[in-house]
Amino acid sequence: MSFLGLDLGTSGLRALLVREDGTAIVSIERSYQTQSPHPGWSEQDPTLWTLALDSAMAELLRNVPEFASLKAISVAGHMHGATLLDKSHKVLRPCILWNDTRAHKEAAELDSDPGVQNALANTMFPGFTAPKLRWIETHEPEIFKKIHKVVLPAAYLNTYLTGEPFADYSDSVGSGWLDVLQRDWSTTLLDAGHMRPEQMPRLVESTQVGGVVRPELAHQWGLGNQVLVTGGAGDNAATACAMGITQNGQGLVSLGTSGVVLGAVDHPQPDPKSAVHTFCHAIPDQHYQMGVMLAATDSLNWLADILLSDPAELTRELPKQLLSPGNTQFLPYLSGERTPHNSASLRGSWHGLSSQTTRTQMIHSVIEGVSFALKENLDALESCGQQLDSLWAVGGGAKSEYWLSLLATVLDRPLWRPEQGDFGAALGAARLAQVAAGFSIDEVMTPPQCQEIIEPVSGLREAYREAFHRFRAHPR
């Protein structure tokens, strides 16, 4: 048997086919574009996702014999996207994505309702789905009237694959309509969002079977008639599954486009005011909490564009030994911020620039600023009762030894770097497909081998602690 994990990302779709023992057979990627018709808007045509999926499946059919023995599919998707369907499951408008901030006023209005905060156990961020629907109700009322179902991106692919809208808990909690502790749609939240229970997809666990691939697709892709489709997962929950983060106290820090500090938790202590996300895990009856910053490697990408370079080249310009913190500090709020500030209007800045500031110091200050912002995220998680004594380090930024040394020193924790391999959302999704087909969670949700443990630089701990206090003192 083979198993397929789909990672429906913001910039592209990744299909990872694995064997029964979890080893990769092949990985295929397809890219697509995001549209921004107005400042602060971010939209995508869901047809791009299905075209990418069809193209990837066609390549698997042509080139990979093991694809014919496919047993199950699971989809991990970028969260919060508002995909609106009519009664025929046709898309009513482009999907409004997670990084769209047009609904900041609606989010603030919902967040000011004590009943909403109590039921949601989270801050109602502008990127969540519920504020976007309130915006559509006001600005696109004719579309709002036609809405039969609202599904998130992963659930839209579930609908395409099986013909029936269903979603899992780890993704659905990011809609702003799910009671995270009761693991069910909340009447309080739906009423506040002017939505009805029947407009929500059916809920299943990430590891449960939600349906089977439609016969016409199975025929088109050369598959049998009983290929299972699981509930799927939000992308961060799926990544945690790929890293074997399933139990209390296990955690990761992700240096991707956005930055994430995440920890599994048995009994979460939600604190919406901290802007910490308290979400259902892809593991039944388990939760995770995370802090999110919006511009992690994106900050380095921004600097690389200005310097007519690329991010990897910039990090190679840094010395092998970690520099002491300098006078130049960078606040990495290029597109607002989530944890802990929850501000769509917050913007970045440099402090302490002078005629003596060098290119190397500017590169260092950007990496340092991102690391300080992740320290704020870790502190916010600890304020909610989390204790993460060490963290796996993943994402594109984790390829930089200098960055990991700086980050370990700022966080004052060892960082575990996994061996080279695939430990992203696509692998987590493939593992969910395995569990749905009968494998046990303990059997497949294992951590990777550790390639290296990066310890804090002991001689610079105090200097970076003082620099972090200066970072915190800058006006926001």
Catalytic residues: 235
C-alpha pair distances (Å), 375 with each of 63, 331, 384: 45, 13, 14
Strands (E), 415-454: 415-418, 450-454
Amino acid at 424: G
Structure tokens at 73: 């599919």
90 strand-pairing partners: none
**Rounded Cα distance, 193 and 145, in Å:** 14
How many helices and strands (H and E) does the chain possess?
Answer: 17, 24
What backbone phi and psi angles, to 5 degrees, belong to 344? -75, -20
Structure tokens at 75: 């989809």
- Residue with token string 């990430």: 206
The residues, any chain, with a CB within 8 Å of residue 433's CB and separated by 6 or more, are 3, 4, 5, 71, 72, 73, 74, 228, 230
What letter would DSSP give residue 208?
A: S
Helix (H, G, I), strand (E, B) or coil at 167: strand
Structure tokens at 297: 């490697």
Q: Which residues of 336-363 are buried (b: 16+ CB within 10 A; e: fewer)?
A: bbbbbbbebebebeebeeeeeeeeebbb
Q: DSSP of 197-242, one letter per residue?
A: GGGSPEE--TTSEEEE--HHHHHHTT--S--EEE--EEHHHHHHHH
**Rounded Cα distance, 179 and 188, in Å:** 9
**Rounded Cα distance, 292 and 341, in Å:** 10
Structure tokens at 328: 């130049």
Count CA within 13 A, CB hemisphere, residue 332. 32
